[in-house]
Structure 1
Amino acid sequence: MKFSRIGCLALLASSLSAPLWAQSVDIQGAWARATVQGQKASGAFMQLTAKDAGRLVRVSSPVAGVAEVHEMSMDGGVMKMRALDKGLELPAGKAVELKPGGYHIMLMDLKLPLLKDTTIPLTLVFKDAKGGETSKELKVPVSQVAPAGSGSPAAQDAHGAHANHGK
Structure 2
Amino acid sequence: MSTLFKWVGCTASALFIATAAQAQVAVDAPWVRATVPQQSGTGAFMRLTSETDTSLVRADSPVAKHVEVHEMVMENNVMKMREIPAIPLPAGQAVELKPGGYHIMLLDLHGQVKEGENVPLTLTFEDAGGKRSTMDIQAPVRPLASDASGNAHGHGHGHNAGGHGGHKH
TM-score (ref. length: structure 1)? 0.80
Distance 2:33 2:53 in 1: 28
Equivalent position SS for 1:164: coil
Task: Tell me the alpha carbon deviations over residues 114-144 of structure 1, each in whole angstroms, 9 at most, x when there is no partner.
Answer: 0011101100000111111111101110011
Q: In structure 1, what residue type is equivalent to 2:92?
A: G
Instruction: Report how far residue 162 of structure 1 moved.
Output: 2.2
Distance 2:22 2:139 in 1: 22
What percentage of aligned pairs have identical amino acids? Answer: 44
Equivalent position SS for 2:130: coil
Specify whether residues 84 and 155 from structure 1 end up closer, same or farther in structure 2 by C-alpha distance, changes over 3 A only.
farther
Match of 1:164 among 156, 162, 166: 166
Task: Tell me the alpha carbon deviations over residues 47-80 of structure 1, each in whole angstroms, 9 at most, x when there is no partner.
Answer: 0000000100110001100001100122232111
Distance 1:118 1:39 in 2: 16
The answer to whether the 8 Å contact 2:64/2:108 transfers is yes
2:109 maps to 110
Distance 2:98 2:165 in 1: 13
The answer to whether the 8 Å contact 1:101/1:155 transfers is no
2:38 maps to 38
Specify whether residues 81 and 164 from structure 1 end up closer, same or farther in structure 2 by C-alpha distance, changes over 3 A only.
same
Q: Which runs of 5+ in 1 are unaligned?
A: 1-13
Specify whether residues 47 and 159 from structure 1 end up closer, same or farther in structure 2 by C-alpha distance, changes over 3 A only.
farther
Distance 2:24 2:149 in 1: 25
1:139 maps to 138
Q: Does 1:92 align with 2:94?
A: no
Task: Tell me the alpha carbon deviations over residues 55-107 of structure 1, each in whole angstroms, 9 at most, x when there is no partner.
Answer: 0011000110000110012223211111012x111100001000000000000
Q: Tell me the number of residue pairs that the alignment of Structure 1 and Structure 2 aligns.
A: 151
1:6 maps to none
Q: In structure 2, what residue type is equivalent to 1:42?
A: T
TM-score (ref. length: structure 2)? 0.79
Distance 1:33 1:88 in 2: 20
Aligned-residue CA RMSD in angstroms?
2.8
Instruction: Report how far residue 148 of structure 1 moved.
Output: 6.9
Distance 1:132 1:73 in 2: 29
Which structure's CA Rg is the greater one?
Answer: 1
Specify whether residues 92 and 150 from structure 1 end up closer, same or farther in structure 2 by C-alpha distance, changes over 3 A only.
farther
Specify whether residues 93 and 60 from structure 1 end up closer, same or farther in structure 2 by C-alpha distance, changes over 3 A only.
same
